[in-house]
Amino acid sequence: MIEIKNVTKKFDDFVAVENLSFNVEPSSIYGLIGYNGAGKTTLIKTAAGIYRPDGGEVLMGSQNTYDNDDVRKEMFYIPDDLYFPMGSSIASMARFYKNYYPNFNDTTFRNLLEVFGLPLGGKLRGFSKGMQRQAEIILALSSRPKYLLLDETFDGLDPQKKELTKKLFIEYIAENEASLIISSHNLFELSNLCDRVGLINGKHLTMDCSVDEVSRNYSKIRLIFDHEVSEADFKNIKYKTFSTDGKICMLVFEGNYKEQIEKLNSLRPVAIDEYRLTMEEVFLNEMEDKSYDITKIFR
């Protein structure tokens, strides 16, 4: 299990993340989402023991990760900015990682190489960004870690390889009871991968729940009227967002809308249809405090 406990990280006077806590159970994948610069990479690097936290701690298997060789030999971190020394190939990198990961499995390595179809001796610096990512994923999974920390790992992968990678991660996690944290600002990438998601917004974790809970926390309904309606007609109703197109209105509620069904019925809609919010919509709803009125920008 990975435990992020009240982690705070500062860069000089700038607070990147503050008092952040969540857990990642074995055999589960945690998606870390947030806008650019929210602190996802900082949190992952702190979790990987690269950064020393200014407050709190990160535990893996109940052991602190910072400068702990026992824990980190079972942890693999795939950074956003990959490291391939000059002239290195997948083969040479495999030899390199074998030095530091005692569980490195050659069979897994060969199998994965075959699945991704990458050349063993090709120079990695000559590879495309996507191919370099694939190489790193192969190396990571071949190292057979108990803890995987992935930073924007799908960035650059084509849709087919993205799907393949997701399946591999899910299979690996289930097979090895591993814990995985993956960060992304692209919710679609995480939608069918993660068990739980956390949203970092304004240095803090503003949401930490399972994917199912995400949908449960919000409800979205469509109301159809036989007459024109405006937002003023809904003044007695507590909603999160409202939009209307004359006779049709869309409302998003925090929690279950059914608590207010009587008030909605009193408006005499012709029909009420219930929808499930996508993670993208949840993300945007959560982030709406930070949204800008772009219509003002070019005035």
Partner 1 sequence: MTSQRFSADKVDNKDLKRCFKSVILFAAIAFAVIFVSSVVPVIMQITPAHMMLVDPKEPIISYFGIEFLGLAMSPGMFICGVLMAQVLFGFLFKKNSVNVYLSFGITRSKLFLNRMLAALCSMLLAVAVPLTITLLLNIYAFGASAHVFQVFFYLVTGFFVSGAAGFAMMSFICANTGSRIESVITIVLLSSIPSRAISLAASLKGALLTGYYVGDMETMLGTSKLSFLNPMTILIDTDQTVHTLDMIFEEISPVISLSTVLCGNKVPEDLMLDMGLMLPIIVWSVLTVGMLVLGYFLLNKRKAENSNSFGKFYLSSVINGVAVAVYSISSVLGIVAMVFLTESELSRNVSPLFIILLLLIIPSAAYFLAELLIHRKMRPTLRSLPVLAGLLAVFICAFITLSTDCFGTFNKLPELSEIKSIQMDVVDPQNLFDFNAVDNMEDTYSNYKSTDEDDIKLCTKYFEKASKEARDDSFEGTLSFRLILKNGKQIVRRFNIYDDKLIYDYAKEVYGSHYFDGLMKYLMLNGIDVSQSTEYDENHMYNFYENPNSNPQGLLKGSTYYVSDSSLLFDKGIVSYIAIDTEGMIEDNDALMEALYKDMRAMSFEQMYFSNVRPVAIISSGAMLVPYENEKYKAGDFSWDGLEREYTDEFVEDGKPVKENGAYAPQTPMFFVYPGMTNTLNYLKQNGYTVGETERKIKCVYVTRDSKSASDRFTELSKQLDNIDGWFGFLEDDVPKNFGWANVIGVDASCIERYNYYAYKNEGFSDTAINILNRVFSDSGAPLVLIENPEKAKAVVEKSVPFYDSYNAEGRHVYIVYDDGAIVSEYLPEANLDVLSNKTM
Residue 36 CB, nearest distance to partner 1 (Å)?
A: 17
- The angle that helices 129-142 and 159-176 make with each other, rounded to 10 degrees, is 10
Helix (H, G, I), strand (E, B) or coil at 226: coil
Query: Using CB under 8 A, which of 1, 15, 50, 168 touches partner 1?
Result: 50
Closer CB to partner 1, 83 or 242, in the complex:
83
CA distance 35 to 209: 18
Q: 4-39 as b/e, with b when 16 or more CB fall inside 10 Å? A: bbebbbeeeeeebbbebebebeebbbbbbbbeeebb
Q: What angle do CA 19, 23, 25 make, to 5 degrees?
A: 170
Query: Using CB under 8 A, which of 25, 37, 102, 120 touches partner 1?
Result: 102
CA distance 155 to 178: 22
Q: How many other C-beta atoms can be found within 10 angstroms of the C-beta atom of residue 80?
A: 15
Q: Does 116 bind partner 1 (CB under 8 A)?
A: no
Residue 2 CB, nearest distance to partner 1 (Å)?
A: 14
Q: Does 100 bind partner 1 (CB under 8 A)?
A: yes
Q: Does 49 bind partner 1 (CB under 8 A)?
A: yes
Stretch that binds partner 1, among 31-39, 46-54, 118-126, 279-287 (CB under 8 A): 46-54
Stretch that binds partner 1, among 32-40, 61-69, 231-239, 249-257 (CB under 8 A): 61-69
Q: Does 177 bind partner 1 (CB under 8 A)?
A: no
- Which residues are 14's β-sheet partners? 11
CA distance 154 to 190: 10
Q: Does 81 bind partner 1 (CB under 8 A)?
A: yes
Q: Which of 92, 106, 105, 163 is nearest to 134 (CA)?
A: 163
Residue 97 CB, nearest distance to partner 1 (Å)?
A: 9
Closer CB to partner 1, 99 or 160, in the complex:
99
Residue 99 CB, nearest distance to partner 1 (Å)?
A: 4
Stretch that binds partner 1, among 21-29, 94-102, 123-131, 194-202 (CB under 8 A): 94-102
Of residues 118-157, those binding partner 1 (CB under 8 A): 149
What are the structure tokens assigned to 238, written together? 């507590």
Interface residues with partner 1 (CB under 8 A) are 11, 45, 48-52, 67-77, 79, 81-83, 85, 96, 98-103, 149
